[in-house]
Amino acid sequence: MTFVDHLSELRRRLIKSVIAVVIGMAVSAWYIDDIVAFVTSPAGTLYVMRPAEAFLIYMKLALWSGAVLASPILFYQFWAFLLPAFTTHEKKILALFVPASVLLFLGGLAFSFAVVLPQSLHFLMTFTTAEVQPLWSLEGYLDFAILMVLPFGVIFNMPLLLVALAKMGLVSSEQLKQVRKYVIVLSFIVAAIITPTTDMVSQSLLAVPIIVLYEFSLAFIRYILRK
């Protein structure tokens, strides 16, 4: 494929992805009350500070929920865009990447929502006293929750991305081994940047999975793919 062909293919994939997100957003908007109740359950009572805040935040949450619902389509479009770089045999193996990507993405979201988010909220609550009580807004909480949860879904797909790069001959197990120490340091730096708290426990809950997934990817590429 020429460069122009790749751009045309990318445009088609993006259009299909946007349509999938819009459809997912419409479905999410139908069940928005249940979604809001579920997402805000760790925080308890929340407040709106502006007249239109609740509506705008509901639409934002519907958009993010729509993206989650559309994740199978989004991952399919992403991996399908890479298909020209693979051989016919490798394309058959790549068919496993879509369900694996979805499972890892949802697994990352579930892990963050069930473990990391409550831990972060608990840390922030330790700063309250009898004189200083939290008055969290719906907008502030949801922005915080999105920053805590979504990165895990993306990061949990790191093994698949590294495996794909190895199959394309762009990385090898030896190269990954050489940069291991940098990845460990970078994992904690990324965790400190992404995690909207200064809690070392919450940051470690993001950094440690990155390191574990990296080591798993390295072992898989070295012993299974033998690259």
pTM for this model (two decimals): 0.82
Angstrom distance (rounded) from CA 131 to CA 189: 35
Number of residues that this document lists for the chain: 227
Question: Which two three-digit tokens encode residue 114?
Answer: 């069930």
Q: Tokens for 168, please give them.
A: 């394309």
Measured distance CA(72)–CA(100) in Å, rounded = 10
Q: Comparing C-alpha atoms, which of 210, 227, 223 is closest to residue 175?
A: 227
In degrees rounded to 5, what are phi and psi of residue 179?
-100, 10
Q: Are the beta carbons of 194 and 151 closer than 8 angstroms?
A: yes
Q: Do the Cβ atoms of 68 and 95 come closer than 8 Å?
A: no
Measure the CA–CA gap between 12 and 19, rounded to whole angstroms: 11
Burial (0-12, 13-18, 19+ Cβ within 10 Å), 110: middle
* Per-residue pLDDT tens listing for the chain (227 residues): 666 777 788 888 899 999 999 999 999 999 988 988 888 888 777 887 777 778 888 888 999 999 999 999 998 888 888 766 666 666 666 677 888 889 999 998 998 888 888 888 877 777 766 667 777 788 888 888 888 888 888 888 888 888 888 877 778 888 888 888 888 888 888 777 776 666 677 777 778 888 888 888 888 888 777 77
